[in-house]
Structure 1
Amino acid sequence: MTMVPPGDAAPSTAPADRGVGPLLRAWRKQRRVSQLELALRADSSARHISFIETGRSRPSEEMVLRLAEHLDVPVRERNALLLAAGYAPRYPETPLDDPALDSLRAGMERLIQGYEPYPAVVVDAMYNVHAANRGILMLLDGIPERLLAPPLNAMRLTLHPEGLAPRIRNLHEWRGHLLSQMERQIALHRSEPLRRLYEEVAAYPAPEERPGSREANPEPLESAPYFALPMQIEHEGRVLSFISSISTFNTPMDVTVAELAIETFLPADPATVKYLQSLMS
């Protein structure tokens, strides 16, 4: 997913009668791009960009989309820019269970099933789970049914004190990673529901920092046992280690598709590989 640095405040949503100029200016400032730099990227002039931002000039639909592209504005927010400029939204938001997305859903299912025995999951912008393979279901064994009731939420499930949290050996570090990831997504997507989810999971009891944790005793990269932060989780008397990777769709033309992500968990050590492969034999 495209992310912005934690702590950057995203432009606040503005009503359409304020016009598109203030919204574009806010996105430009968030991206730390000057009017001249944006003009060069968009094959325009700094004067024209200034006129758009101050409301002295109404941009064409093509210009709104061009500026949004160069400012890396999320697809959902591009619709908001078009509405503010007086144009119809360009990108539909198709329900994931719509027959038009049958091929997409089937393709994602095949992808995560093909990744077995390693865990893989499909989530949306709110971290709600839309598909999961048997590798994920294995890790959820023993979780209370109320936490598994739809809509299943990956963040809530991972950080809840009755969820996976007690099983994660490096919870202090993994929790910090997940909360920072959510902060970046809130800044990018300006989502109040996501902010409320963040406030909920951030309020769950935080683990004490272990004296031997990497945060307490940072190691240089070349001497560290891992080159990315692993999630170390207990399962049936073993400690399994996974490194997470997130994939999204290139050039999405639908809001729903733009906000889907496939998260896969790659074994981080030979013992985890051996154990998971033994499950397939």
Structure 2
Amino acid sequence: MELSGLENIYAESSVDYPTISYEDITVKNPASILLPYDTTKIDKLKVEEDEISKSLSSTEAIKKNNFIVVDNNVVFRPGPRVIDAIKIIRSGTSTSANVTQANNLGTYNTGSKIGYNVGALIYTRLFDSFQFSTGLDFAGKNFEVTPPSNVNTGTPGANTRIDSTTQKVANNYMNIPLNFNFGGMVTDKLGFTFNGGPYLGILLSTDDKSGMGYKNFDFGLVGSLTANYKIAPLTSVLLGAKYEYGGLNNLGNTPYVDRVSTSSLGFFTGIRLAID
């Protein structure tokens, strides 16, 4: 295929364009690299954008490993993007609590309950296969707890009587993840990614009556493994698993308990919208 329009552009110029090797891809006529993309490895190349638009008007561009290759000669290397993709997820989670009781009290027995998880994450690309992600993640962390029978005795400073029967605790959080993401495509359609790091949770509501005294903030760790299947050039469906450990900062500290942490495991589905 001939690049219609390029010959006339170069015929009008007295510059002799060399051939330059750019990250193992040979670029002929390097001035045709579109600005303002990353040209840090190519010395002081400038080109008029209207000339480039003419050269692309009747050619086919093929994206290969973050390069756009036109007729195997002209290569455009996209620079860093502020937003690389948006991921919307919805899942069910099972949460269990770990409670360390105060001195002279019996054991807090806990059990797992099903909760929810709905969120939207934004990815920004740092390197070709390494991204940073953040966003908003709304989580319902529900579990079952049975306080010890002597919970209302031997607790100096406790002014409220605690129900010692088994009860469900429903805590709703808005989490802000600060995670790193890496992975990639294993075929043209299928890819796998790992996303993990810390998160900050803000307690929106709780119905705790078991004397654990939930704090307003939850600092924890989260990790997920996601399979994505491309259904359109910029759209993929998602299926994955997620584990979250909450309470690095100790979720509760009252006369009844010394420490509270949570563990959540869930499976999710969603959609990924890439920005190219």
TM-score range for the pair, normalised by the shorter chain length: under 0.3
Relative to the length of structure 2, the TM-score reads 0.28
The structure with the largest strand share of the pair is 2
Which structure has the greater CA radius of gyration? 2
Q: With structure 1 as the length reference, what TM-score do the two structures score?
A: 0.28
Q: Which has the higher contact order (CA 8 A, sep 6+)?
A: 1
